A = this chain, B = another copy of it.
Amino acid sequence: MTRHRLASALACLAIALPAAAASPSPADIIKQSKPADWRPLDPQNTVVMEVNGSPVVFELAPRFAPRHAANVRKLVQGGYFSGLAVIRVQDNFVAQWGDPNEESEDKSKLRPLGAAEAKLPAEFSIPYQGLPIARLSGADGYAPVTGFVDGLPVAADPKRNRAWIPHCYGVIGAGRGDTVDSSNGSSLYAIIGQSPRALDLNITVVGRVLKGMEALSSLPRGGGAMGFYDKPEQNVPLGKVRLLADIPPAERPAFEVMRTDTATWRALAEARRHASGDWYVHSAEHVNVCNVSVPTRPLAQPAS
């Protein structure tokens, strides 16, 4: 917890944690990974959203919410979000963006949805059976099974044959009203605090932020009920919100993401159970699905 934290080893700590010292650390596993352990951003499935000039890069989850993912894609490609705003930031909960006129009496002020659908079914879970999940061992409390699919955290209940994306930090969902089918992806939120898992299976999750969370998580909290900004001038305008495919290649974010369907990933997720590094004197020998991050790394620059 100081700058010294990563400094030189102390023999006594190595003795205190022999198991951790013997297994490869997450850093070692990442270092020893092969090119095939990584994947590029999917141009059709990645959104780049400018918040205060900083790019928030997020990935959609078509396997878990195909209708919503397709609708968000249409909204983004139609320019729906560009120039809209973050309208709500509730501490230790969510940052939410969409049309500031959503609650206006005068519906003519609303930005039109274009080619996107106004009404979609709820997509709260998918079947567990057949899901290629990289399971995480250990107790979760909220779900009997947790793990990763498509780079996303996943929780599942095999007995009820359902799986869903848990509300971990950085997960993005589609705001809804009182009816389960009242979301269409035109208002989205990202989790900015302790995972509010009570939301799981109550709302449609559409994806996850890959990079740039701090542009959302460090925004001023709203003073209104549920963290909505009190006054229109507090809303934080969004700049361009574009599908990666629609961004000129030279302007695209230049990073790749670790795959979660490989032996390397399984070793990495398992390694996160152990404390690693000389600073630690105790190892929890456990990790929650919401505490396992999927690594990204800059793309190697082509030789010029």
Q: Which residues of A contact B (CB under 8 A)?
A: 1-8, 10, 13, 89, 91-92, 94, 96, 102-103, 124, 138-142, 168-170, 173-180, 183, 187, 189, 192-198, 200-203, 213-214, 217-221, 225-226, 228, 275, 278-282, 284, 286-288, 290-291
**Which among A7, A213, A217, A220 has the highest number of chain B CB atoms within 10 Å?**
A217
A2 and B175 in contact, given A142-B284, A202-B275 (Cβ under 8 angstroms): yes
Residues of chain B within 8 A (CB-CB) of A170 are 92
- The answer for the CA separation of A89 and B168 in the assembled complex, in Å, is 20
- The answer for the CA separation of A140 and B91 in the assembled complex, in Å, is 23
Inter-chain contact A5/B193, CB cutoff 8 Å: no
Chain A interface helix/strand/loop/mixed: loop
Inter-chain contact B281/A180, CB cutoff 8 Å: yes
Cβ contact of A178, chosen from B10, B138, B173, B282, cutoff 8 A: B10
- The answer for the CA separation of A292 and B220 in the assembled complex, in Å, is 23
Residue ID in chain B nearest A1 by CB atoms: B175
A194 and B197 in contact, given A103-B3, A202-B279, A286-B141 (Cβ under 8 angstroms): no
